[in-house]
Structure 1
Amino acid sequence: MTTLRYPPKPSPGDRVAVLSPSAGLPELFPRPYELGLERLRTEYGLEPVEYPTTRKMGATPQQRADDIHAAFADPSVKAVVSSIGGADQITVLPLLDRELIRANPKPFFGYSDNTNLLAYLWNAGIVGYHGGSVMCELGRPIAMHPLTAESLRAALFTSGPYELRPTDRFGDVNGPWEDPATFESEPASEPAGGWTWHRPDRIVEGRSWGGNIEILSWLLMADREIARDPAVHEGHVLFLETSEDMPKADDVFWILRSMGERGLLRRFPALLMGRAKAWSFEHPNDADAKARYTREQREAVLRAVDQYAPDMMVVFDVDLGHTDPQIVIPYGGTVRVDGPARRITVTY
């Protein structure tokens, strides 16, 4: 693997590309998208630049790859931000020009299906940023969550250490974007309960790797953007999260088991596990069902860890994925997990 490097950061006033490398959902749901663009301008001082497929549903993989190339090759564009995720970005990866992207490194912000592009950048030697989509985080009704806004600002504009902190309250219940009433009040929240530590007996500092566990499983099956030699991950910090598709606990275990059989899990001395999203429109769980889903997922993770990485330190309920607030995690950047002090610091 090429040595990882942090790309240059944008400054207020710069142009940033807004792309839809997965689904062109801004075409179907313009309200959260336009709100996110406005916040990029007014709250961050950045000028969003759209591309042919940004608001286009059904764009071909080649068309989306062309937009990625155009954004990275344009010297006036200083960062690239995803509009949202999707489900088929894996089909875009073979069409990308790795040398073009490597020669024009830029901060890329995205998560969920954008785990594909983050892993691709990791293999190109470029640190990416897991989080910060336009429609979800920037387009949050009424206002961005303060922790999300602070983390995104630090990741966009600064290059030093940033200490994560647990949120007091979180939310994973969303209103329908097609209903104007969704944007008349902030999303509901509930007490968070802090992080849960497993084997916090050491300090681990290393480069990060991971992302959405469902997308990683697809990359593993396709044998794409996954290191052939698991030893390249030795000493790294693994971070994982699950999506609104809400995979069953057994599925989470089976994915981790496959990573264990590949020799991957034991390479990571620490795991940051994102807070499970335990509600979706398809599964509108009540409080008891949400607690059960979260507990079963945690048990599945620990079962795999105990079997394949018995010395791994694990921190659960870190707000790094599909819940609100969301903390941006540098993908390939330095992460320090201090078990005895119960502290997590990332370097943006």
Structure 2
Amino acid sequence: MSILHKGDKVGFIACSDGRDRSKSNIYLTLENILAQFSVHAVYAKTFYAVGNTPFSGTPEERAAELAELYQDKEIKAVFDLSGGNAANELLPSINMEIIKENPKPFVGMSDLSVLNNALFTLTGVPNLHYQTTNLLGPDSAFQMELFTKVFLTDWHNPNELVTFPYTWLRGSSMEGTVIGGNARCFLKLAGTPYMPNPEDKLLFLESLGGGPAAIASYIAQLTQLGFLERCNGILLGTFTELEQSAGMPTAEELVLAATEKFGIPVAKTAKLGHGYDSHCLPIGMKLQL
């Protein structure tokens, strides 16, 4: 199957922090890039920040606009171009039945890890951990090729979306349905009905900010929630601040120490996270690594 075809429409929305209207040229350029693929963008009313607030609308307004994009039969994927902190405000107001009845991928990352996982948990509809604005970045040529492969090429098995290299830190294989994303944002779901069950899952973790102590705290919380004991394996992406500062211990060392008693497989990739060269990862699809 191919997610998009020539002539299709995609929705642009900001379910987390609203976008800065003074930077509208960025999104116009992105529109033009998608037009090269004969894909056309439709903006939600809740895209740009309103007034002096960081929000593109109230949580209820943002959730209603999200529902509109799902109900529009011409829109084949929802691209959330935001990030920040505010995505979890929407959760009680999202009409999950509309998403079940109109399944299409929600595409976003960072704070959108909240929605990637919550929408999958309550609807069973898989989503994509991907930053669409990377099409504008310094690795745009690579990203154009990746976009073609992920969104515009027929694929029959989610494993065809494993376009990124990875190395094994423990074990040599793992299989399960992928959950997770940005560690800080994923943990906003803890204790809520939106948090996925870790049984038979592959847990993906990455982070933009945070030194060793912050990453250790995320791993401790996941341990206390029972995630590291019950999941089938862990895939680590990039931990930008920690890796750029050469902080010690590393995320890999912290995860290996926390999971030693469970013996679960752990793999690492430098191509999933907040880098301009990051690949795409399906959330809610079964992969075998």
Counterpart pick for 1:292 among 233, 246, 256: 246
Counterpart pick for 2:134 among 126, 132, 137: 137
Deviates most, 33-42 or 89-98: 33-42
Q: Which amino acid aligns with 1:55?
A: Y
Counterpart pick for 2:91 among 90, 93, 101: 93
* CA drift at 1:317: 3.0
Segments of 5+ residues of structure 2 without an aligned counterpart are none
CA spacing shift, 1:26–1:140, aligned 2, 3 Å:
farther
Name 1:270's counterpart in structure 2.
Answer: 233
Mapped partners of 2:248, 2:8: distance in 1: 41
Name 1:240's counterpart in structure 2.
Answer: 205
Alignment of 1:135-214 (within 5 A): 136-141=133-138, 144-146=140-142, 148-157=143-152, 158-160=154-156, 161-166=160-165, 195-201=166-172, 203-214=173-184
Mapped partners of 1:36, 1:241: distance in 2: 25
Secondary structure of 2:269 counterpart: strand
CA contact (8 A) 2:238 2:269 kept: yes
CA spacing shift, 1:162–1:89, aligned 2, 3 Å:
closer
Alignment of 1:299-310 (within 5 A): 299-307=253-261, 310=262
Name 2:185's counterpart in structure 1.
Answer: 215
Deviations along 1:204-252, whole A, 9 cap, x unmatched? Answer: 22211111100112211x524114xxxx432321111102xx1122222
Name 2:46's counterpart in structure 1.
Answer: 53
Please tell me whether residue 20 in structure 1 is matched to residue 14 in structure 2: yes
CA contact (8 A) 1:111 1:131 kept: yes
Alignment of 1:99-114 (within 5 A): 99-114=97-112
* CA drift at 1:330: 0.6
Q: Which amino acid aligns with 1:140?
A: G
CA contact (8 A) 1:270 1:312 kept: yes
Mapped partners of 1:107, 1:83: distance in 2: 14
Q: Which amino acid aligns with 1:98?
A: M
* CA drift at 1:127: 0.6
Segments of 5+ residues of structure 1 without an aligned counterpart are 1-5, 167-194, 280-288, 338-348
Name 1:249's counterpart in structure 2.
Answer: 212
Name 1:187's counterpart in structure 2.
Answer: none
Mapped partners of 2:286, 2:149: distance in 1: 15
CA contact (8 A) 2:137 2:276 kept: no
CA contact (8 A) 1:115 1:211 kept: yes
Q: RMSD of aligned C-alpha atoms?
A: 2.2
CA contact (8 A) 2:10 2:41 kept: yes
Task: Provide the TM-score with structure 1 as the length reference.
Answer: 0.74
Q: Which amino acid aligns with 2:134?
A: E
Secondary structure of 2:205 counterpart: strand
Secondary structure of 2:3 counterpart: coil
Secondary structure of 2:6 counterpart: coil
Deviations along 1:8-66, whole A, 9 cap, x unmatched? Answer: 72212111111111122241422322222211111x22000012111234221111111
Mapped partners of 2:176, 2:146: distance in 1: 20
Number of residue pairs matched by the alignment:
279
